[in-house]
């Protein structure tokens, strides 16, 4: 278990959010002519979301083992009305919208120094891609610095203190520059990326629309561009976003190949992002003030 894990603190935070969010959410749900029961479930939404957050902080690889051997055994006093494992899994897709809302209020703010990159989210081994069924019409093959993969991409922007500012996800064959403009709507100042974001058209649009200066290295067959000493130093610190991706992969279960449905994939993705947002210690650039001066 991680040092950041405090069940009571996490539950109180999520429960406060759910008490505010659930009435607004239900108010905007579309209705149909079918008669439906409208009684409360055995477990509350905040309890279900808390268990999913705890799973990502536990660093265990399978949710079934975590639920049966940790929650059922050690946390039963915190959740006295636990559901069976199969019933709990049926409830997981109902947390997608709340987790998206919770991510939006826990994400970081732009500090003027931002880093952008994408992370592959594999949904199966490449050899099984042709017979994969769960994401057959959604996932695609893509290529990252580590080679080919079958799945999705998580396009991410972070600030210089390691906080996630915004995310988008796409199928694996979508080029990084296609998500550059949507990810920049909350940004200002400098945006540092790798060579995959080289695009004069996008660079000019960012400058004109958002007053953002996009800084990347150039390819070997391109003419060098002028960069100030500050820009060169900060571009060399672009490994920070790679460190964030590494922490997401190693300390949460954001990527695995056991999804039962696309809805479970989304719930797992955003619960992992919220779990990261709640960490007290994130990788960051500590010398930003001295560099700027």
Portion of the chain with pLDDT greater than 70, in percent:
93
* For the chain, domain boundaries: 7-29+38-105, 109-257+281-292
Q: For residue range 105-127, list pLDDT tens digits in order.
A: 999 999 999 999 999 999 999 99
Q: What is the mean pLDDT of residues 94-107?
A: 97
Please give the pLDDT value at position 28.
83
Task: Output the six-digit token pair for 277.
Answer: 């947002």
Q: pLDDT class for 223, splitting at 50, 70, 90?
A: confident
Q: What is the mean pLDDT of residues 223-246?
A: 94
Give the chain's radius of gyration (CA, Å): 21
Task: Output the six-digit token pair for 100.
Answer: 């998206």
SS3 state of residue 251: helix
Average pLDDT of the chain, as a whole number = 91
- pTM of structure: 0.91
Q: Is residue 268 pLDDT above 50, yes or no?
A: yes
Q: pLDDT class for 207, splitting at 50, 70, 90?
A: very high
Please give the pLDDT value at position 2.
43
Q: Is residue 31 pLDDT above 80, yes or no?
A: no
Task: Output the six-digit token pair for 163.
Answer: 């906080």
Please give the pLDDT value at position 292.
53
* CA dist list (Å): 103 to 45, 48, 63, 165, 236: 16, 16, 21, 10, 29
Q: Is residue 5 pLDDT above 60, yes or no?
A: no
Please give the pLDDT value at position 35.
60
Contact (Cβ atoms closer than 8 angstroms) between residue 212 and residue 191: yes
Q: For residue range 126-161, list pLDDT tens digits in order.
A: 999 999 999 999 999 999 988 999 999 999 999 999
Phi, psi for 147 (deg, rounded to 5): 115, -170
């Amino acid at each position: 278990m991680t040092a950041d894990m405090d069940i009571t603190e996490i539950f109180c935070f999520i429960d406060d959010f759910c008490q505010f969010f659930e009435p607004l959410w239900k108010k905007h749900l579309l209705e149909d002519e079918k008669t439906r029961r409208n009684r409360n479930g055995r477990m509350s939404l905040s309890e279900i979301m808390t268990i999913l957050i705890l799973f990502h902080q536990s660093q265990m690889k399978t949710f079934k083992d975590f639920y049966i051997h940790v929650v059922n055994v050690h946390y039963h006093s915190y959740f006295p009305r636990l559901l069976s494992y199969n019933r709990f899994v049926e409830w997981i897709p109902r947390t997608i919208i709340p987790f998206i809302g919770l991510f939006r209020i826990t994400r970081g703010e732009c500090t003027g120094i931002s880093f952008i990159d994408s992370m592959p989210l594999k949904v199966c081994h490449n050899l099984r891609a042709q017979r994969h069924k769960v994401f057959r019409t959604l996932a695609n093959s893509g290529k990252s610095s580590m080679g080919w993969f079958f799945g999705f991409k998580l396009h991410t922007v972070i600030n210089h203190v390691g906080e996630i500012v915004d995310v988008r996800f796409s199928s694996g064959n979508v080029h990084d520059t296609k998500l550059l403009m949507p990810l920049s709507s909350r940004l200002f100042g400098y945006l540092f990326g790798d060579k995959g974001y080289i695009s004069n058209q996008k660079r000019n649009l960012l400058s004109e629309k958002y007053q953002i200066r996009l800084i990347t290295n150039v390819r070997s067959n391109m003419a060098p561009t002028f960069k100030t000493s500050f820009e060169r130093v900060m571009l060399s610190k672009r490994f920070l976003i790679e460190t964030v991706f590494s922490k997401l992969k190693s300390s949460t279960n954001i990527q695995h190949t056991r999804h039962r449905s696309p809805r479970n994939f989304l719930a797992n993705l955003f619960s992992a992002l919220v779990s990261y947002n709640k960490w007290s210690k994130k990788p960051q650039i500590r010398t930003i003030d001295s560099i700027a001066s």
